[in-house]
Amino acid sequence: MSFRHYLRRPPAVTAAEAVRLVVDGALVVDVRREFEWNRAHIPGAVHMPLEELPERCLELPDDRLLITFCTGGIRSAGAANLLVENGFEAVNMSRGLVDWRASGGPLTTR
């Protein structure tokens, strides 16, 4: 992943919007590291660490909105830009895990 993916602001949604979009069929792409994922993650999310995203993004569905997610929203911003460049409809969930919890979004450790 290139530094240029962090130079512009990607399309973004709040955590409250993301919760609603997931109910409507959007897919969360969690770009955090393995140990972060193992602590807690969004049920139904796809785990694709940021380091793997450039090589693995074609595994993602191209017929659903993708919501990139990380702890604070910085890594996922670059991930959203990369996905958009690769033809996906993707947005970044700004402020990440903290706002997801505050918005009542579910988490699991399984």
For the CA atoms of 74, 93, 59, 107, the dihedral, rounded to the nearest 10 degrees, stands at 110
What single letter denotes the amino acid at residue 93?
A: M
Per-residue model confidence (pLDDT) at position 54: 95
CB-based contact 106:100 (threshold 8 Å): no
Per-residue model confidence (pLDDT) at position 8: 62
Parts of the chain with a pLDDT under 70 = 1-9
Per-residue model confidence (pLDDT) at position 3: 47
